[in-house]
A and B are shown apart, each in its own frame.
Chain A
Amino acid sequence: MNPFWIALIAVIVVPIIGGLLAGIDRKITARLQGRWGPPIVQPFFDFFKLLGKSRIATSRMQFVWIYGYLVFMIACLVFLVLKLDILLLVFLLGFAGVSFALGGFSCKSPYSHFGANRELLQMLSYEPVLLLMALGIYAQNGSFMISEIFNRSEPLLASLWPIFIALLVILTIKLRKSPFDISTSHHAHQELVKGIMTEYSGPYYALIQLTEWYEIVLLLGIIALFWANPLWVGILIALAAFILELFIDNIAARMTAGWMVRFSWAIGLVLCVLNIAYLYLMKGVS
């Protein structure tokens, strides 16, 4: 099949999957709290309602950054579905995060600045682990290409399971779930107002939600790569990881930003470095 059509279908289908996942998230969270919960299609109602609201602009520059956030996230997704370079995918994910943080910095609201500062701390805690994940895949495969992962018969999870555990911590930070929901909070709105998303309203807030849906599917896709052959096992593992995140979200309270950086570096970096060192020293991967 033509790569252009694969990319186009992914760009259209992925937000629908992401929105349904967000709806399942709200439903399961409600059931865990003893509530009935909204219908699963509720995120789509929210999205279309926000599209129909009036546009209030506090700064024009923030809209440039928010479109950048969306475009970089779509670029990451295209890299994943076309099975291109995973190192460049990690870099593009970093650009997306930087665009979002700069969007928060581009208006004068103190809440927005606060959220953007915390978003930068989040990036500080997850970017090294993502880079080391790409290095670990290189150490195992001798190539950064995602297509090489699909060609192997043995799953990555067998030799890279410490990196997989580190990636689960990163997933919690990237999805902004408790105990790491420090730049913006989906439930306790009163503390930060809405953190980095404070100044976005109406259609622009809808764009952020759309980007978050892309992000959910992209991260679960990266997790599915760890059992890429056959892929359905990987997708089941990714869904199990998603449900696990929901449970952690509901049993954990928010922690401080400094604790987040210490935790993700102490657990994530140590696991990644030990994994890569083991691959190079013990197995003699060259």
Chain B
Amino acid sequence: MGIIHTSRIKSPWIMHFDNSSCNGCDIEVLACLTPLYDVERFGIVNMGNPKHADVLVITGPVNRRTARVLKNLYAQVPDPKMVIAVGTCACSGGVFHNCYNILGGVDKVVPVDVYVPGCAARPEAIIDGVVLALQKLAQAQGVAK
């Protein structure tokens, strides 16, 4: 089964979900897909469909409405899957952490594998986050990276 494990690391398809972010981190995630950073050379493709995705890239703090949507999306991603919280708000709630409608970071709702801090997170940091998630996946499967 070596080729399947190698392929998992070579082709992470991401799905990008915006909880209730200010759109700053979302623009940075999309900047990764532009010709300047061109993450497709690592096999990363942005999918609009959770059923085809491997990596959930989540921005913004979770509020009471998006928690339900986030759980639903997480359940629809087939295993093995990784979750990356991008931006300070997604990591901990950020400046919104005491608001009445905010639950906090993404890890209050779904398990998070990699935290990418920053307000907004830089594209280089996001790409580093995806690479770190893949290294964790490789270690979990006992495959040398």
A46: Cβ under 8 A from any B Cβ: yes
Any B CB within 8 A of the CB of A143: no
Is A200 a contact of B43 with CB atoms below 8 Å? no
Given A42-B10, A49-B10, A52-B7, is A37 in contact with B51 using a C-beta cutoff of 8 Å?
Answer: no
A residues contacting the other copy or chain, number (CB 8 A): 33
**A181 to B56 alpha-carbon distance, docked (Å):** 26
**Per-residue A-contact encoding for B40-65, CB less than 8 Å = 1, 0 else:** 11110011110110100000000000
Given the complex of chains A and B, what is the CA–CA distance between A85 and B46 in angstroms?
42
Complex Cα gap A52–B137 (Å): 14
Q: A49-B10, A52-B7, A202-B78 are in contact. Are A35 and B51 (CB under 8 A)?
A: no
How close is B106's CB to chain A, nearest CB, in angstroms?
22
Q: Which residues 178-200 of A sit at the B interface, judged by CB distance below 8 A? A: 189-190, 193-194, 197-200
Q: Does the CB pair A189–B46 fall under 8 Å?
A: yes
Q: Are A200 and B7 in contact (CB under 8 A)?
A: no
Contact of B41 among A35, A198, A201, A205 (CB under 8 A): A35
Q: Do A194 and B35 have beta carbons less than 8 Å apart? A: no
Distance in angstroms between the alpha carbons of A205 and B78 in the assembled complex: 12
8 Å CB contacts to A: which residues of B68-82? 76, 78-80
Question: B8: CB under 8 A from chain A?
Answer: yes
* Residues of the B chain whose Cβ atoms lie less than 8 Å from the Cβ of A202: 78
Report yes or no: B51 in contact with A49, Cβ–Cβ below 8 A.
no
The reply to whether B38 and A35 form a contact with Cβ atoms under 8 Å apart is yes
User: Does B95 sit within 8 A of A, measured CB to CB?
Assistant: no
Interface hits, B1-30 → A, CB 8 Å: 1, 3-8, 10-11, 13
Contact of B4 among A49, A54, A193, A197 (CB under 8 A): A49
Q: Tell whether A33 is near chain B: CB-to-CB under 8 Å.
A: yes
Interchain CB contact under 8 A, B78 and A201: yes
Interface size on B, residues (CB 8 A): 27
CA distance A47 to B5 in the complex (A): 12
**In the complex the two chains form, is A52's CB within 8 Å of B41's CB?**
no
- Report Cα–Cα, A33/B35, bound state, in Å: 7
How far apart are A26's CB and chain B's nearest CB, in angstroms?
Answer: 8
**Distance of A202 Cα from B80 Cα, bound (Å):** 10
Least Cβ–Cβ distance between B127 and chain A, in angstroms = 14
When A190-B48, A198-B49 are in contact, do A45 and B10 touch as well, CB less than 8 Å? Answer: yes
A187 to chain B, nearest CB (A): 9
User: Smallest Cβ distance from A115 to chain B, in angstroms?
Assistant: 11
Whether the Cβ atoms of B51 and A56 lie closer than 8 Å is: yes
> Across the interface, do A189 and B54 meet the contact criterion of CB distance under 8 Å?
no
Alpha-carbon distance between A53 and B54 when the two chains are bound, in angstroms: 9
Q: Is the CB of A53 within 8 A of B41?
A: no
Given contacts A38-B43, A201-B52, contact A56 B7 (CB under 8 A): no
How far, in whole Å, are A44 and B41 apart by their CA atoms in the complex? 14
Q: A45-B7, A48-B3, A48-B4 are in contact. Are A205 and B52 (CB under 8 A)?
A: yes
Q: Interface on A for B, CB 8 Å cutoff?
A: 26, 30, 33-39, 42, 44-49, 51-56, 189-190, 193-194, 197-202, 205
A sample of 10 more A-B contacts (CB under 8 A), given A56-B51, A189-B47, A201-B51, is: A39-B41, A45-B6, A45-B10, A48-B4, A52-B4, A53-B78, A189-B46, A189-B48, A190-B48, A197-B52
